[in-house]
């Protein structure tokens, strides 16, 4: 096993200003927790009313980032997180890259992955010792299969069953036998089993825990839904205003630089007051279920934290918590729904729509799939008592998914590209976040770049050039984080300069000049 000498960790500690901390003699464990389609403001520590005490605890004893970026969509986010390169350099199967597993396993790590994958290959072929979870993109949370599980109604589903890997054994149409199966719980159960199995080994672990919640369909345990009965009866606008007020109180947003923009209502444009009593009840119920899903994720994170504490490993475990994209405004349709089934049950299949997605992303504009802040900004909470100085305020440096792998390299001593077998592997596009852990600025040599579907963006310091279609818009995020005042007409030379940088990045990644038309994205969720 490859270990970093204790002196190297002491040098890192001195660099970060932690001379008083007793540095572990071994590299840290690394725990990455990714949730699916969660909004910017859902967590309690980011202004939400949803009960997330375990994540809030990590934030209180670690640090919180206000400008963490993703790719606006599930599968490119997962590729960036795993490989440290922009998705435009690779594809859905992570071709010509090195995964976190391939990098960390040769450095002496157990490499474990429980949860969603959203690609065709099995992670055990790309550096992971163990993998349990969904290889596809979306599923029924109570029953991923196409037929009824024992003692249950037939599941509502968007497909004819999903391909799963049950810790090495692939199942094309996974129908759980456990009547209390719920994927958030199941992913955690498997992770806890691995932590127990490897408890006595000296090796550190990489555990990637990729929950499918709170991605549609909205489904949750009745006891969790009951916690939120009546919480959303005041409607979209009231909940959004309350979240914004808490964000101001928490110091996350400054009303002078981040004013709350007008709410973007769905196609029907109906405000809460314009809904009928029955419509309000149904809308509130959807948000209650969504909140219950986030609540259940937090409960399961609590289970993992408790196990790490019991094992004496929490202090030297570097934990990242984040979401794969902004809140989701989609309304998927399926044919096999039981119209009489209670909302949130196995035979129900609903989402919460654009209005609640606007609430979820408070105070940011737009949603998943867009390159505006509501599509690409995620909460990021980091916790590592042995190597991170707790920070009460907010880190406001722009950071990105591509930074996780370089950070893992920095703390583990692993060599890149490790055990990856691809012939041509580009170097990571990201940078290490270690300086941020000490409250120091991050030295990023290049801007951050974005492209998904019709959306594109480049962020260079305080400036962001963004489009959702043909025309670029320019925003000064230092004074306008909510992207209200388009300065493109006033700053044509800056627009031209940033456009040229974006085009050069695109050609560097893809080998082709930008034609003005984005590659066609397949509809798979």
Looking at residue 522, what is its pLDDT?
A: 59
Looking at residue 517, what is its pLDDT?
A: 86
3-state secondary structure of 361: coil
Least confident residue range of 201-215, 329-343, 410-424 = 329-343
Treating both helix axes as pointing N-terminal to C-terminal, what angle do 277-310 and 183-197 enclose, rounded to 10 degrees?
0
Residue 31 DSSP label: E
Residue 128, burial from CB neighbour count under 10 angstroms (0-12, 13-18, 19+): buried
Whether residues 275 and 374 fall in one domain: yes
Lookup: tokens for 44:
């309690």
Residue 487 in any domain: the answer is: yes
pLDDT digits (tens, 9 = 90+) for 128-162: 999 999 998 889 999 999 999 999 999 998 765 57
The residue count of the chain comes to 525
Beta strands in 147-188 (DSSP E): 164-166, 169-171
Is the pLDDT assigned to residue 422 strictly greater than 50? yes
Residue 156 in any domain: the answer is: yes
User: Of 411, 437, 463, at which residue does a domain stop?
Assistant: 437
Looking at residue 160, what is its pLDDT?
A: 52
Residue 389 in any domain: the answer is: yes
Q: Is the peptide bond before 371 cis (omega within 30 degrees of 0)?
A: no
Q: What is the CATH number of the domain that holds 190?
A: 3.40.720.10
DSSP per-residue codes, 304-327:
HHHHHHHTT-STTEEEEEEESSS-
pLDDT digits (tens, 9 = 90+) for 116-130: 999 999 999 999 999
Q: How far is CA 257 from CA 39, 252, 282, in A?
A: 20, 11, 35
The backbone torsions φ and ψ at residue 437, rounded to the nearest 5 degrees and listed phi first, read -65, -20
Q: How far is CA 53 from CA 46, 212, 309, 420, in A?
A: 12, 20, 16, 38
Whether residues 384 and 456 fall in one domain: no
Residue 442 in any domain: the answer is: no
> How many CB atoms sit inside 10 A of residue 141's CB?
28
Whether residues 271 and 398 fall in one domain: yes
Query: In this prediction, what percent of the chain has a pLDDT beyond 90?
Result: 87
* Residues pairing with 319 in the sheet: 31, 383
User: Of 403, 437, 471, at which residue does a domain stop?
Assistant: 437
Looking at residue 159, what is its pLDDT?
A: 67
Whether residues 282 and 242 fall in one domain: yes
Rg of the chain on CA atoms, in Å: 22
Residue 270's pLDDT band, with cuts at 50, 70 and 90, is: confident
Is the pLDDT assigned to residue 8 strictly greater than 70? no
Looking at residue 267, what is its pLDDT?
A: 75
Sign of CA dihedral 17, 21, 24, 29: negative
Residue 525's pLDDT band, with cuts at 50, 70 and 90, is: low
Q: Which residue has the tokens 């000064």?
A: 476
- CA-CA distance, 6 to 169, in Å (whole number)? 39
Q: How far is CA 199 from CA 29, 292, 313, 357, 495, in A?
A: 12, 31, 9, 40, 54
Looking at residue 142, what is its pLDDT?
A: 97
pLDDT digits (tens, 9 = 90+) for 107-118: 999 999 999 999
Residue 197 in any domain: the answer is: yes
When divided into structural domains, the chain yields a total of: 2
Show the DSSP H helices in 311-393 as ranges. Answer: 353-360, 373-376
> How many CB atoms sit inside 10 A of residue 206's CB?
26
Least confident residue range of 5-19, 167-181, 288-302, 400-414 = 5-19
3-state secondary structure of 247: helix
Is the pLDDT assigned to residue 57 strictly greater than 70? yes
Range of the domain at 456: 448-510
Q: Which residues belong to the active site?
A: 74, 118
Looking at residue 19, what is its pLDDT?
A: 33
Whether residues 150 and 205 fall in one domain: yes
Whether residues 423 and 472 fall in one domain: no
Contact 211, 35 (CB under 8 A): yes
Whether residues 388 and 486 fall in one domain: no
Lookup: tokens for 453:
């579907």
Residue 443 in any domain: the answer is: no
Whether residues 382 and 469 fall in one domain: no
Whether residues 175 and 228 fall in one domain: yes
Give the global pTM. Answer: 0.95
Looking at residue 24, what is its pLDDT?
A: 44
Q: How far is CA 408 from CA 29, 105, 193, 205, 346, in A?
A: 10, 12, 24, 12, 38
Whether residues 360 and 485 fall in one domain: no
pLDDT digits (tens, 9 = 90+) for 237-251: 999 999 999 999 999
- pLDDT: which is higher, 21 or 124: 124
What residues contact 287, with CB distance under 8 A and at least 6 apart?
A: 228, 231, 232, 239, 352, 356, 359
Q: What is the CATH number of the domain that holds 497?
A: 3.30.1120.10
- The distance between the two most distant Cα atoms of the chain, rounded to a whole number of Å, is 67
- pLDDT: which is higher, 521 or 387: 387
Looking at residue 519, what is its pLDDT?
A: 76
Residue 518 in any domain: the answer is: no
The backbone torsions φ and ψ at residue 323, rounded to the nearest 5 degrees and listed phi first, read -115, 155
Is the pLDDT assigned to residue 18 strictly greater than 60? no
Whether residues 337 and 433 fall in one domain: yes
- CA-CA distance, 107 to 416, in Å (whole number)? 10
pLDDT digits (tens, 9 = 90+) for 428-446: 999 999 999 999 999 999 9
Is the pLDDT assigned to residue 16 strictly greater than 50? no
The backbone torsions φ and ψ at residue 494, rounded to the nearest 5 degrees and listed phi first, read -65, -40
- CA-CA distance, 294 to 303, in Å (whole number)? 15
> How many CB atoms sit inside 10 A of residue 254's CB?
12
Q: Which residue has the tokens 């799939």?
A: 369
Whether residues 212 and 144 fall in one domain: yes
User: Of 412, 437, 462, at which residue does a domain stop?
Assistant: 437
* Mean pLDDT of all residues belonging to the chain: 93
Residue 415 in any domain: the answer is: yes
């Amino acid at each position: 096993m490859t270990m970093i000498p204790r002196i190297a960790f002491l040098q890192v500690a001195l660099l970060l200003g932690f001379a008083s901390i007793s540095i572990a003699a071994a590299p840290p464990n690394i725990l990455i927790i990714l949730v699916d389609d969660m909004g910017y403001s859902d967590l309690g520590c980011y202004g939400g009313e949803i009960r997330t005490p375990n994540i809030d605890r990590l934030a209180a004893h670690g640090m919180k980032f206000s400008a963490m970026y993703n790719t606006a969509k599930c599968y490119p986010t997962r590729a960036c997180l795993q490989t440290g390169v922009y998705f435009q350099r690779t594809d859905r199967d992570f071709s010509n890259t090195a995964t976190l597993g391939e990098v960390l396993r040769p450095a002496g790590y157990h490499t474990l992955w429980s949860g969603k994958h959203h690609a065709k290959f099995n992670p055990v072929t790309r550096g992971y010792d163990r993998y349990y979870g969904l290889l596809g993109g979306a599923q029924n949370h109570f029953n991923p299969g196409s037929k009824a599980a024992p003692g249950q109604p037939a599941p509502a589903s968007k497909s004819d069953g999903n391909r799963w890997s049950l810790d090495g054994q692939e199942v094309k149409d996974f129908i759980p036998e456990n009547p209390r199966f719920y994927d958030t719980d199941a992913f955690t159960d498997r992770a806890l089993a691995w932590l127990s199995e490897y408890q006595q080994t000296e090796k550190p672990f990489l555990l990637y825990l990729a929950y499918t919640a709170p991605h549609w369909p909205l489904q949750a345990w009745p006891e969790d839904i009951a916690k939120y009965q009546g919480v959303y009866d005041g409607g979209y606008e009231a909940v959004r205003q309350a979240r914004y007020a808490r964000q101001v109180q928490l110091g996350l947003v400054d009303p002078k630089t981040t004013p709350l923009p007008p709410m973007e209502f769905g196609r029907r444009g109906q405000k809460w007051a314009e809904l009928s009593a029955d419509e309000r009840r149904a809308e509130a119920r959807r948000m209650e279920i969504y909140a219950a899903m986030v609540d259940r994720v937090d409960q399961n994170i609590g289970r993992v934290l408790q196990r790490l504490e019991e094992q004496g490993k929490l202090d030297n475990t570097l934990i990242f918590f984040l979401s794969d994209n902004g809140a989701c405004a989609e309304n998927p349709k399926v044919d096999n729904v039981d119209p009489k089934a209670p909302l949130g049950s196995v035979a129900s299949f609903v989402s919460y729509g654009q209005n609640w997605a606007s609430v979820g992303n408070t105070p940011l504009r737009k949603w998943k799939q867009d390159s505006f802040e509501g599509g690409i900004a995620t909460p990021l909470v980091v916790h590592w008592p042995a190597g991170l100085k707790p920070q009460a305020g907010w880190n406001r440096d722009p950071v990105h998914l591509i930074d996780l792998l370089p950070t893992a390299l920095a703390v583990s001593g692993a060599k890149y590209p490790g055990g990856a077998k691809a012939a041509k592997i580009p170097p990571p596009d990201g940078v290490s976040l270690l300086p941020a852990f000490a409250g120091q600025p991050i030295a990023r040599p290049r801007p951050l770049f974005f492209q998904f579907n019709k959306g594109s963006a480049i962020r260079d310091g305080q400036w962001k050039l963004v489009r959702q279609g043909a025309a670029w818009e320019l925003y000064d995020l230092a004074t306008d984080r909510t992207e209200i005042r388009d300065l493109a007409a006033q700053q044509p030379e800056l627009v031209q300069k940033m456009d040229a940088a974006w085009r050069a990045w695109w050609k560097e990644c893809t080998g082709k000049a930008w034609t003005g038309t984005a590659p066609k994205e397949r509809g798979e969720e």
